Amino acid sequence: MKFLLAIYKYNPFGGLQRDTLRLIQELAGRGHGVVVFTTAWDGPEPPAGTSLELVPASKLRSNHANMAKFAAAFRARLERHDFDVSVAMSRIPGADFYFAADVCMKVYWSKIHSAFALRFNPRYAAFLRQEQAVVAPPSRTRIACIARAQMDDYAAAYGTEPDRMFLLPPGMDPACRRPPEPEAEAIRAGIRSSNQALPEHTVILIVSNSIYNKGTDRAITAVAALPDERKKKLRLWFVGRLPDEIRTSLAEAGLAEQSILFGQTDGVRDHMLGADLFLHPARNESAGSALIEALAAGLPVLTTDICGFAPYVQKATGTVLESPFRQDKLAEMLSDMIPRLDELKRRTLEYAVKEDFCSRAKVFADILEKR
């Protein structure tokens, strides 16, 4: 079979992009041909049997204008009919399948912006039109959801038919799983030693490519609120795309000297093995692949119920902060977890060995083949 996959932009660090690559690898590994339609591919060459078709974005246009142009180019590409199944990995109308990596825009934006502000926001209007064209009737695009909340939101906001939506399991890279002992402990000891984390230090890991969406500011504020005696034994590790304002916030909170900013890296599993707690108080997270990666590494998680994968954390340790968000409650939960980390790690490991965290690409490929 021949598949057409559309993704607006590819880089090797985003969750959507990793899902896209795993799906390409799964399809190519089954002997199918894959055409990737995109504005940019920033990463290693895709697998054999895969070809790239680039529609470069213009630096003179806004992001939403470029997206509209890309969507129009994709519709024109569909008219060639030289493929069996089309999949939109971004919010692009017209494909047979849409991989819903994002929250429902109509629901989420109405929670954080006033109706008046949204009325005069051209970016919101453009993206909302595309979302509606994908998920609202009479569209027949089937929607692959990665969290149950997405299905509920689409149905409530657009009347999306239940038979057009289906839920995929998590799609973690199997390499992120905790290795057997003594390898796991050796990795932990090595990364802690190289970053001056002593045995008595509690290392809190924060993974973020967006200060606002991932709640990085909330995390810093919660740590700063801890008693001074406890803070002295803390070390903060930040992984991701980190702007200068993170350094400013850490300095203002008195946490700069005990923090390390690693930037974007492919080695997040090793950081998870070296850490003692994963702190992720997100504001906007349709799924949260990092939550699954942390659980699989045996790392206790503290997160918010807004995350699509929060139910997995709830089943593992019950350490999910309920909405509406309260900063004082986050600080209280963090303070309560730190003395119990050994127990929470044991529970996390016991849960992780029983769960299937890795089959998303396989399950999705099975569904696409049946189409």
CA distance 139 to 15: 26
DSSP state, 284? Answer: S
Same domain, 184 and 87: no
Same domain, 189 and 220: yes
Note the pTM of the prediction, 2 decimals.
0.82
CA distance 90 to 195: 38
Same domain, 259 and 339: yes
Write the CATH number for 189.
3.40.50.2000
Domain coverage including residue 108:
2-169+359-370
Among candidate residues 275, 280, 319, the one with its CA nearest the CA of residue 297: 275
CA distance 297 to 95: 36
Same domain, 182 and 153: no
**Paired sense of beta strands 202-207 and 165-167, if any:** unpaired
Structurally, the chain folds into a number of domains equal to 2
Joined tokens for residue 29: 């590994």
pLDDT at 11 over 80: yes
Q: How far is CA 145 from the centre of its chain?
A: 13
Same domain, 148 and 16: yes
pLDDT digits (tens, 9 = 90+) for 276-311: 999 999 998 988 889 999 999 999 999 999 999 999
pLDDT digits (tens, 9 = 90+) for 155-213: 999 999 999 999 999 998 888 899 999 999 999 999 999 999 999 999 999 998 888 99
Same domain, 164 and 179: no
User: Confidence class of residue 326 from pLDDT cuts 50, 70 and 90?
Assistant: very high
Same domain, 346 and 209: yes
pLDDT digits (tens, 9 = 90+) for 60-81: 788 889 989 999 999 999 999 9
